[in-house]
Amino acid sequence: MEALDGNAIAGDLFEVFGTEMTTAVGACVHCRQVAQIAELAVYARAPGRVVRCRSCGNVVMVMVSLGEGVQLAATAFELYDPPAPVQ
């Protein structure tokens, strides 16, 4: 399966954070590689979206759409200075 880039989850991230997040910078907690969310590898053919670090290949986020919204588990991607929500 071919990976998409982090722009594939832009809408889901906006739903969770209330702001544009693809340009947000963070680090993989496994290898400490710093990257923008747009640079991460997204696999979207599963029941959810699996986001992996392009450097080490480890999972850094998992997203699942449920009836009431998007659930995000991102404990392996440490955001640096996240953008403020749109008001």
3-state secondary structure string across 35-63: EEHHHCEEECCCCCEEEECCCCCCEEEEE
Q: Quick check: is 25 in a domain?
A: yes
Range of the domain at 58: 4-80
Number of domains comprising the chain:
1
The predicted pLDDT at position 4 comes to 96
For residue 82, the model assigns a pLDDT of 67
Predicted pLDDT of residue 86: 60
Give residue 84's pLDDT: 64
What parts of the chain have a pLDDT lower than 70? 82-87
- Give the per-residue pLDDT at 53: 98
* First and final C-alpha spacing in the chain: 38
Is residue 86 a part of any domain in this protein?
A: no
